[in-house]
Amino acid sequence: MVLHMIGRGDIQQQRLTLLASILLWEGRLNNARLRELFDLSSVRASEWIREFREKHPDWTEWNSKTRSYHASLEAYRAVPNADLRKQSDAISLSQYLALVGVPHAITESSPSRTIWAAFPELSVPSPRIFALMSEAIRARRALQITYRSMREPTPHQRVISPHSLIRAGRRWHARAFCSTNQDFRDYALGRIESAILLDTPSERVDEDDAAWMAKVRVRLVAHPDLTPDQESLIRFEYFNNTAARVDTCRGALIGYFIQDVRAAIDTKSQQPPDYQLAVANIEEVRPWLFPG
């Protein structure tokens, strides 16, 4: 049981808050999901949903195809995204991820005060965008999005077929096939202004994404310009006192992985102390640095 995650207060209100978190970030509530998360009986899960619907009658709409109560626009209007950025309660993204078993950043409101994140959540996606993206992936359907990018900063429409959600550092991305460009690309969820779930099936799926399916070795070593003592320290900290470590990464994610560990790919321009690691097999890795 995870009710202790929300903090003190009335148990009924804690249940309502938990269900609101699931509804907003997953876009639906159903009996099976509550049984999975909270180890409830079918009868008890139905009671929880009925209690929630009585408290928030306008927040859900029954969908006979999915046999779930889907989140209404009224539910998202009731919890503005500006409030979610405060990360102050169980409706925040970090607490939702903790609820479903995904590691998250410890915040001021977290019950544990022994583990902390050194950075704030700078780019929290809209819960409705997050839920629609998740639904499109589950149902293998296309999405029409209004998107902004550095290359094209003004809002523009794209039709995409997402197959995976990715947390890369402090940002969330969707890996998706773009119907406009006819290739697979990454879309930052924080840059999506709006989304519409289409009735059309996904144009392409993850098995068609060569960069996603590719498994690429990344060999990390201590930066060659470290002193011998510094190199020994890096080997102790990262490599279990061996000369290097090799990780296998999806081709589409290698750029994020190298950014996250701050490994130099050009040891002449990327120098210590900013870079303490380096990619040893750069020629093998280079073709996969942010493909598409």
Express each pLDDT in 216-253 by its tens digit.
999 999 999 999 999 999 999 999 999 999 999 999 99
- pLDDT, mean of residues 117-133: 80
Ranges 17-31, 33-47, 87-101, 278-292: which has the least confidence? 87-101
Residue 70, classified by CB atoms within 10 Å of its CB into exposed (0-12), middle (13-18) or buried (19+), is buried
- pLDDT, mean of residues 261-287: 95
Higher pLDDT, 79 or 127: 127
The pLDDT score that the predictor gives to residue 5 is 46
Question: Which amino acid is it at 7?
Answer: G
How is residue 280 annotated by DSSP?
A: T
pLDDT digits over 30-40, tens only? 999 999 999 99
- pLDDT, mean of residues 105-132: 66
Contacts of 38 (CB under 8 A, 6+ apart): 1, 2, 45, 48
Q: How confident is the model at residue 23 (pLDDT cuts 50, 70, 90)?
A: very high
Contacts of 45 (CB under 8 A, 6+ apart): 31, 32, 34, 35, 38
The pLDDT of residue 210 is above 70: yes
The pLDDT score that the predictor gives to residue 80 is 60
Ranges 4-18, 96-110, 134-148, 255-269: which has the least confidence? 96-110
The pLDDT of residue 47 is above 60: yes
The pLDDT of residue 100 is above 70: yes
The pLDDT of residue 146 is above 60: yes
Sign of CA dihedral 111, 23, 197, 201: positive
The pLDDT score that the predictor gives to residue 131 is 94
Q: How confident is the model at residue 163 (pLDDT cuts 50, 70, 90)?
A: very high
The pLDDT of residue 91 is above 80: no
Are 124 and 25 in contact, with CB atoms under 8 Å apart? no
The pLDDT score that the predictor gives to residue 99 is 81
**Nearest to residue 130, comparing CAs of 101, 87, 173, 169?**
173
The pLDDT score that the predictor gives to residue 8 is 41
